[in-house]
Amino acid sequence: MLKLEPRPQASKFWSYGSPLLALAITVLIGVALFIALGKDPVKGLQVFFWEPVKTPYALGELMVKATPLLVIALGLAVCFRSNVWNIGAEGQFIIGAVAAGGVALLAGKETGRWIVPVILLAGVAGGMVWAGITALLRDRFNASEILVSLMLVYVADMVLSLLVYGPWKDPAGYNFPQTRTFDAVTQIPRLMSGSRVSVGLLIALGGAAALWVFLFRTRAGFAQQVGGLAPAAARYAGFSSRKALWVALLTSGGAAGLAGALEVAGPIGQLTPYVPAGYGFAAIIVAFVGRLHPVGMVFSAVLMSMFYIGGELAQSRLGLPKSITGVFQGLLLFTLLACDTLIAYRLKVTGRAT
């Protein structure tokens, strides 16, 4: 009979090395999956790990996918380090996109480039308001932030559908459920011609640097983590666990809303029912694979964007279903959890089961 027994001390090496081990195991399982589906595993791995980086344009597209994942993951890291479980970043992403899209639709011929920061701020505000609902219910009624934030994702999706099928629907759009294309003046500036990479990438990298300073070089960052992990100790030290809750959820909601604004005013250029791309859920994996550390999350965001692009290429080149992206994402998270469990615990044979 096997039993999990706590280890006296977790390995420091494997605490940082387990994401790499989890990735290796994911690749091995992926190879077996390709063989089981009758596909060439070499070509399968090529579309996931080589095609997204082999040309400058492909690298640009990789950065386009990685940007929203990193921005959302940075906000979620504040939550998870504070022991606040915001699982509804996807809903905050959607409402941020809706708020940003609403501002973008107000632009006219006389509008200047000043509207771009207003659009981004609207996205941040939308995400914060949506996350604030979860914070309020948790603070006042002790409702589970996991359930509330997750259920609000579906409400946010319905809000988006209501608008693009209703009052914001483009009358010249041949009855498709979408808004009109946003004016060029509202578009997020691009870093270079011939690529869709925007200044959103710089914002994401700047956010990673800011988060590092906040978490590891400020008293407020220390208080934030203590307030979530040990409320009694935080109160003794004069830190507020209630403040930690609000700061965590508003920060993560604002980050998710910013990611939504960067998407609709960047690569998408309008609101459609397909704005929800699962970034809010994938960013949870990004955060944990990156060990809730800003530097680690930069690399894990790139890895997760490779899964997105590889999944799209696998559909067109290998004839695999769209769900292959989710399979690889789920495998990575599952293997990481398994590795982390074996870091903290060891299997022990206790005797024959009766």
The structural domain count of the chain equals: 1
Evaluate whether residue 8 is within a structural domain.
Answer: no
pLDDT, residue 112, reads: 92
290: alpha, beta or left, given left = phi > 0 and alpha = psi -120 to 50? alpha
pLDDT, residue 120, reads: 98
Q: What's the distance, Cα to Cα, between the start and end of the chain in Å? A: 9
Evaluate whether residue 97 is within a structural domain.
Answer: yes
pLDDT, residue 188, reads: 94
Backbone torsions φ then ψ of 190, nearest 5 degrees: -90, 155
pTM of the model: 0.94
190, β-bridge pairs: 198
44, β-bridge pairs: none
Evaluate whether residue 305 is within a structural domain.
Answer: yes
Pairwise CA distance, residues 135 & 141, whole Å:
10
Matching residue, tokens 């990193």: 70
pLDDT, residue 353, reads: 52
The CATH number that applies at residue 103 is: 1.10.3470
pLDDT, residue 100, reads: 98
Evaluate whether residue 309 is within a structural domain.
Answer: yes
Evaluate whether residue 126 is within a structural domain.
Answer: yes
250: alpha, beta or left, given left = phi > 0 and alpha = psi -120 to 50? alpha
Please give the chain's pLDDT, 354 residues, in tens: 778 888 888 888 888 889 999 999 999 999 999 999 999 999 999 999 999 999 999 999 999 999 999 999 999 999 999 999 999 999 999 999 999 999 999 998 899 999 999 999 999 999 999 999 999 999 999 999 999 999 999 999 999 999 999 999 999 989 999 999 999 999 999 998 888 999 999 999 999 999 999 999 999 999 888 876 777 777 777 788 888 899 999 999 999 999 999 999 999 999 999 999 999 999 999 999 999 999 999 999 999 999 999 999 999 899 998 889 999 999 999 999 999 998 888 888 876 655
Evaluate whether residue 346 is within a structural domain.
Answer: no
pLDDT, residue 292, reads: 94
Distances (CA, A) of 340 to 91, 193, 328: 28, 43, 18
Angle between helices 324-344 and 294-318 (to 10 degrees): 140
What is the DSSP track for 196-262? --BTHHHHHHHHHHHHHHHHHH-HHHHHHHHHHH-HHHHHHTT--HHHHHHHHHHHHHHHHHHHHHH
pLDDT, residue 234, reads: 75
Evaluate whether residue 215 is within a structural domain.
Answer: yes
SS3 category, 4: strand
What is the DSSP track for 82-132? TT-----HHHHHHHHHHHHHHHHHT--TT--TTHHHHHHHHHHHHHHHHHH
Backbone torsions φ then ψ of 178, nearest 5 degrees: -160, 155
| Domain housing 104 | 40-319
pLDDT, residue 233, reads: 74
Evaluate whether residue 339 is within a structural domain.
Answer: no
Angle between helices 56-81 and 219-229 (to 10 degrees): 60
